[in-house]
Amino acid sequence: MNVAIVGTGQSKFSRDSGLQIRELAFEAYREAMKDVNLSKKDIDASIVCSAPEYDPQRSPSSGISEYLGLDPRPTFYAESICSSSTTGVRAGYGLIGSGLHDVLVIVGFQKMSELSSTEAQERMERGADIMWESPFGLTMPAGYAIHARAHMEEFGTTEEQMAKVKVKSGKYSKLNPDAVFQREVMVDEVLNSQVISSPLKFFDCCANADGASCMILAKEDKAKEITDTPVWVEGIGSATNVVSLSAREKLTGLKSAEKASQTAYEMAGISPEDVDVAEVHDCFTIAEIMAYEDLGFCEKGEGGKLIEEEQTYMGGKYPVNIDGGLLSKGHPVGATGGSQVNTIFKQLRGEGGRIQVEGAETGLVHNIGGIGTYANVIIFGR
């Protein structure tokens, strides 16, 4: 069974939207429905994705589905923290591929401004090991800082190389009107910004945001009726790592992402070099460098060199996060994966505008939950 994405959309990402979650969701849904030959009554079901406990609404899937006018059709909530909306794609692929549904809507959302940053941080920490690690200070930045240190120690990766990930992000952010931050940042600016969790500084970290994303999935025959340019889901890989960092085999990469990408490549029948454009989960600059390696865009330990050589810029061997990535777009947790898919969808349809990678045929999304606890890698083809 072939499953396609036939429409995508996202809301503007912002630090404080002033909108309710259902309004954010509607903004993304409206955009996804804009150019499709599809009426609401042909949608069979929805899946709603977010990280839990930010919004006072508990079990938000029914309310959002209702607001989009999709009741009484089934809906449920799928979650893997920051990778929730690509988990939605995996679950949606299943519902369509098994024949239960023909067309479904996946909404990812988060309203981070609902809480203070301290409260938001507390929620995030409870996604890590709540017995032995988060109570002792293992915040998200600290978890990635440990990975950064290990990577520097083992491979000689430098703070300048990490800074260059942010420089690339800033460069492309100016072309993305949906991004929270739209300005260029220089290496020195990154290096001199406030230390958050050494060696990670302010500009090495992405920011909490409000936002929503939406994807419409359809089975093959329906997809071809809905649009002339469906984008096919060709490979899905998903894996986990143990929650506790202290129990992991290594800290220089994410085993979950490595395994998920192997599964995805195998299912799609391609190799890393076949990827024309990729969106990776750059919640921190080091995360993008590790992603290069976990995805096989370079050898282990060569990620720093890859960005230094600008191989992940447009025109390089692997254009990565040319929409600005999380570092500039902001990270509305449950919406992030869908926003990545939105960018790849447009690329494969040649609708990338000023960031279009010429002739892009194969795109990849790498979406991580927690400190590498969950990983989804999805390969799309046109």
User: Shortest approach of a copy of itself to residue 241 CB, angstroms?
Assistant: 6
Q: Which stretch binds a copy of itself (CB under 8 A): 33-41, 46-54, 202-210, 338-346?
A: 46-54
User: Shortest approach of a copy of itself to residue 353 CB, angstroms?
Assistant: 33
Q: Which amino acid does the sequence have at 119?
A: E
Query: In what helix (H) or strand (E) does residue 264 lie, and over which residues does it extend?
Result: helix 255-268
CB atoms within 10 A of CB 382: 18
One of 53, 154, 310, 361 touching a copy of itself (CB under 8 A): 53
Cα–Cα distance measured from residue 108 to residue 105, given in angstroms and rounded to the nearest whole number: 10
Cα–Cα distance measured from residue 181 to residue 133, given in angstroms and rounded to the nearest whole number: 32
The residues pairing with 331 across neighbouring beta strands, listed in sequence order, are 208
Q: Is residue 129 within the footprint of a copy of itself (CB under 8 A)?
A: yes
Q: Is residue 136 within the footprint of a copy of itself (CB under 8 A)?
A: no
Cα–Cα distance measured from residue 57 to residue 44, given in angstroms and rounded to the nearest whole number: 24
| Nearest to a copy of itself of 60, 199 (CB atom) | 60
User: Shortest approach of a copy of itself to residue 104 CB, angstroms?
Assistant: 10
195-336-211-333 Cα dihedral, nearest 10 degrees:
-60
Window 74-113: contact mask with a copy of itself (x via CB under 8 A): xxxxxxxx-----x--xx-xxxxxxxx-------------
Q: Which two tokens stand for residue 64?
A: 């959002």
| Nearest to a copy of itself of 73, 317 (CB atom) | 73
One of 10, 197, 367, 373 touching a copy of itself (CB under 8 A): 373
Give SS3 for 365: strand
* Residue 295 φ then ψ, to 5°: -90, -5
Cα–Cα distance measured from residue 207 to residue 112, given in angstroms and rounded to the nearest whole number: 10
Q: Is residue 374 within the footprint of a copy of itself (CB under 8 A)?
A: yes
Q: Which amino acid does the sequence have at 379?
A: I
Q: Are 327 and 344 in contact (CB under 8 A)?
A: no
- The C-alpha R_g of the chain, in whole angstroms, comes to 19
| Nearest to a copy of itself of 65, 312 (CB atom) | 65
Q: Which residue has the tokens 């036939």?
A: 6
One of 211, 230, 324, 369 touching a copy of itself (CB under 8 A): 369
Query: What's the per-residue H, E or C state across 162-176?
Result: HHHHHHHHHHHHCCC
Q: Are 273 and 232 in contact (CB under 8 A)?
A: no
CB atoms within 10 A of CB 228: 8
| Nearest to a copy of itself of 217, 360 (CB atom) | 217
Cα–Cα distance measured from residue 211 to residue 336, given in angstroms and rounded to the nearest whole number: 8
Which 231-270 residues touch a copy of itself, going by CB under 8 A? Answer: 236, 238-243, 255-256, 259-260
Annotated active-site residue in 49, 82, 205, 298: 82
User: Shortest approach of a copy of itself to residue 59 CB, angstroms?
Assistant: 4
Cα–Cα distance measured from residue 207 to residue 241, given in angstroms and rounded to the nearest whole number: 24
User: Shortest approach of a copy of itself to residue 249 CB, angstroms?
Assistant: 10
| Nearest to a copy of itself of 253, 319 (CB atom) | 253
User: Shortest approach of a copy of itself to residue 21 CB, angstroms?
Assistant: 11
Window 207-236: contact mask with a copy of itself (x via CB under 8 A): -----------------------------x
331 is catalytic: yes
User: Shortest approach of a copy of itself to residue 82 CB, angstroms?
Assistant: 9
Q: Are 43 and 50 in contact (CB under 8 A)?
A: no
Q: Which stretch binds a copy of itself (CB under 8 A): 60-68, 196-204, 207-215, 341-349?
A: 60-68
Residues that bind a copy of itself (CB under 8 A): 1, 3, 45, 51-53, 56-59, 61-63, 65-66, 71-81, 87, 90-91, 93-100, 123, 126-127, 129-130, 236, 238-243, 255-256, 259-260, 369-370, 373-374
Please list the active-site residues.
82, 331
